[in-house]
A and B are shown apart, each in its own frame.
Chain A
Amino acid sequence: DAGVIQSPRHEVTEMGQEVTLRCKPISGHDYLFWYRQTMMRGLELLIYFNNNVPIDDSGMPEDRFSAKMPNASFSTLKIQPSEPRDSAVYFCASSFGQGDSPLHFGNGTRLTVT
């Protein structure tokens, strides 16, 4: 299995632009998570899906952030408009089932907003 695939690996954009991050979970996994990692705040859960349905989006910082999962093999995280404080590494992770099932992480997208 190729693992969780995220694209792009790096993204540099100007403030005010729209940014779309993409994720392909491991086939057969029914949970998908979006995390953000910064030096100041560590790893924060933004949102997660179960069977393509958003379950908890309480970590989404504000309305500029939105996430979708149109099918079991694809999810997007969109920031519009982007701001410099959105600069971070964004991780997508997937798991099969609940509880002690480990999360499998993608390699992350490093976003820089200038």
Chain B
Amino acid sequence: AQTVTQSQPEMSVQEAETVTLSCTYDTSESDYYLFWYKQPPSRQMILVIRQEAYKQQNATENRFSVNFQKAAKSFSLKISDSQLGDAAMYFCAYRSVPKTYNTGKLIFGQGTTLQVKP
């Protein structure tokens, strides 16, 4: 079974600085999808960025980028120019490529709480 591990329960960053959140996963599959979700205090789950495992190029969405290392099974999230609104819990998630109608669950890590200091 696939597992997702976020080893940093809490992180903090100074406003305008850069921070990297770590995520590792375990799988025997060669193709899959990876996601980062953000959960602010409002508890809404918001998609931040996604990565297809077959793509070598790291995904980027404005100030958010990932460092995807397939061999190491690592999928870290880098937030540049951190803003106060980035303060939230961040979840890394894994989803299998569907081979049948069974689409594959979205499996989440335990989350990392990010504090942004003004």
Contact = CB atoms under 8 A, between A and B. Distances in A.
A103 B110 contact: no
Band of interface residues on B: 20 to 34
A42 B104 contact: no
Contacts of A43: 91, 108, 111
Nearest to B53: A100
B19 interface: no
B52 A98 contact: no
Given A55-B103, A107-B42, A107-B43, 20 more contacts: A42-B108, A42-B109, A43-B91, A45-B105, A48-B103, A50-B101, A50-B103, A55-B101, A55-B102, A56-B105, A93-B45, A99-B103, A100-B33, A100-B50, A100-B52, A102-B35, A103-B47, A103-B106, A105-B44, A108-B44
Q: How many residues of A sit at the interface, in one of the four size bands?
A: 20 to 34
B95 interface: yes
Interface string A3-47: 000000000000000000000000000010100000000110100
Contact of B106 (A33, A42, A50, A108): A33
Interface string B42-58: 11110100101000000
Contact of B104 (A91, A98, A102, A107): A98
A45 B102 CA distance: 14
Interface in B70-108: 91, 95, 97-98, 101-108
Contacts of A69: none
Nearest to A105: B45
A83 B42 CA distance: 25
Contacts, number: 52
A103 B55 CA distance: 20
A61 B58 CA distance: 37
Contacts of B33: 99-100
B98 A98 contact: yes
A72 interface: no
B96 to A, nearest CB: 8
Contacts of A98: 98, 103-104
